[in-house]
Structure 1
Amino acid sequence: MKDIFVGSILACIVLLNSGCPKSCIEANYSFSVNAQVGPDRDSINVGDTIYITSSFPAKLIDQGTGAEINYTGAKKIGSTLGVGKLKLGSAIPVDAVFDFSYISIKGNVYNDRGIASPDAVQQLIYQDSNNTYELKVGLIAKVKGTYALGIGNGLSVGRSGVKNCEKAAFDISLNKTNQHFNIYQSFTQNNQSNDYERKHAYYFVVK
């Protein structure tokens, strides 16, 4: 049951529309970047806001070659945010995007009704600011419950002024964040978490 539960919660966070030309299918570069979720509390009240932040420079290390790449002028760096409501006794979370209101502070968070699961997934777009890519968005709780967030990996379709696609994949990991796996464990009755969960998942209660 654990594998079914985990897959159901986190499968939604890999949805991302690349928009890249068919002639450029694979990413040219692979970068590793970080994100954080705060404030550092395992429970909040209705009306409180949770913030997701991420910031990284345009000069990054390609994970495939170890070379420093100046990835300035990205046309768009997008990611996803999966939002699920957990229920005891069920292996499948409930789509919960609209249990929250959203604010965009740096970059953008929005809902794309054209994807397969728009009630489970929000879209995230980074802001290009002085050779730094930044994201800061807020989720304002509207409904009580226990929730799982999944921060998806990112993708850029290329760079402005560059004829080649130069598509880039961004491996986004949560760091400096208490991800509250004790909440997850209380639902699954399992004390183990896999690598993907440790990198991407965040759990909390709305009271």
Structure 2
Amino acid sequence: MKDIFVGSILACIVLLNSGCPKSCIEANYSFSVNAQVGPDRDSINVGDTIYITSSFPAKLIDQGTGAEINYTGAKKIGSTLGVGKLITGEVVPVGAVFDFSYISIKGNVYNERSIASPDAVQQLTYQENNNTYELKVALIAKVKGTYALGIGNGLSVERNNSKNCEKAAFDISISNTSQHVYYYQTWRPGYTLTASDLKRLYCFKVK
């Protein structure tokens, strides 16, 4: 299984299909974005808080062409957060969205019940502030266990300052954070995490 959270992919498809009408002219861009998870500890207690943060400028470099793109005024830049519990005997993480409480600090985290795996995936949206897109959300642990978070690639449906219907993909990677992937490797011995997995996976234990 290449992907840690199938539901994350399905959620991204939902966002993609909700975009511009088929008749419009599309110019697709791809941008690289970083995210951080903290505090940087491999275990926390029930009642403790984990923060996911990400920010990037509105002027971005397209990975395909190297051109600078002014992405000011995007209608919506969204991503997904897979939340899974690593339970012995299960071959995939069990959806565990509701093992946590959530607080939107910058941008928004919410649960969309119309997607295929709502108990495994939360939706994330960035907010624009002073030519910067920002996201900061908090997860408060409610249940003991070992967990894996998977940050999905982001997507923007359209930017407001464009005459054409333009979509952009945001390649989001976790950086400057110890990701504690040994929890996943211990839970699923023999499985080799892909480069894509390692960019987006964060594991921890709630005691």
TM score, norm. by length of structure 2: 0.92
Specify the alignment match of 1:112 in structure 2. Answer: 112
| In structure 1, distance between residues paired with 2:25 and 2:193 | 32
Quote the offset at 1:159 in angstroms: 1.2
Matched, 1:10 2:11: no
Letter of the 1:184 counterpart: Y
Specify the alignment match of 1:166 in structure 2. Answer: 166
Specify the alignment match of 2:153 in structure 1. Answer: 153
Letter of the 1:193 counterpart: L
Specify the alignment match of 1:48 in structure 2. Answer: 48
Specify the alignment match of 1:32 in structure 2. Answer: 32
Matched, 1:20 2:19: yes
- Do the aligned residues in 2 keep the contact of 1:149 with 1:203 (CA within 8 Å)? yes
- Do the aligned residues in 2 keep the contact of 1:102 with 1:140 (CA within 8 Å)? yes
Matched, 1:57 2:48: no
- CA RMSD in angstroms comes to 1.6
| CA offsets 1:114-163 (integer angstroms, 9 cap, x no match) | 11111111000001001000000000000000101000000001112433
| CA offsets 1:28-68 (integer angstroms, 9 cap, x no match) | 11101100111100000000010000000011110110111
- 3-state secondary structure, aligned to 1:40: coil
Specify the alignment match of 2:177 in structure 1. Answer: 177
Structure 1, gaps ≥5 residues long: none
Matched, 1:90 2:90: yes
| In structure 2, distance between residues paired with 1:119 and 1:163 | 38
Specify the alignment match of 2:201 in structure 1. Answer: 201
- Do the aligned residues in 1 keep the contact of 2:83 with 2:149 (CA within 8 Å)? yes
| In structure 1, distance between residues paired with 2:23 and 2:152 | 24
Aligned residues: 202
Specify the alignment match of 1:70 in structure 2. Answer: 70
Quote the offset at 1:193 in angstroms: 2.2
- Do the aligned residues in 2 keep the contact of 1:80 with 1:124 (CA within 8 Å)? yes
Structure 2, gaps ≥5 residues long: none
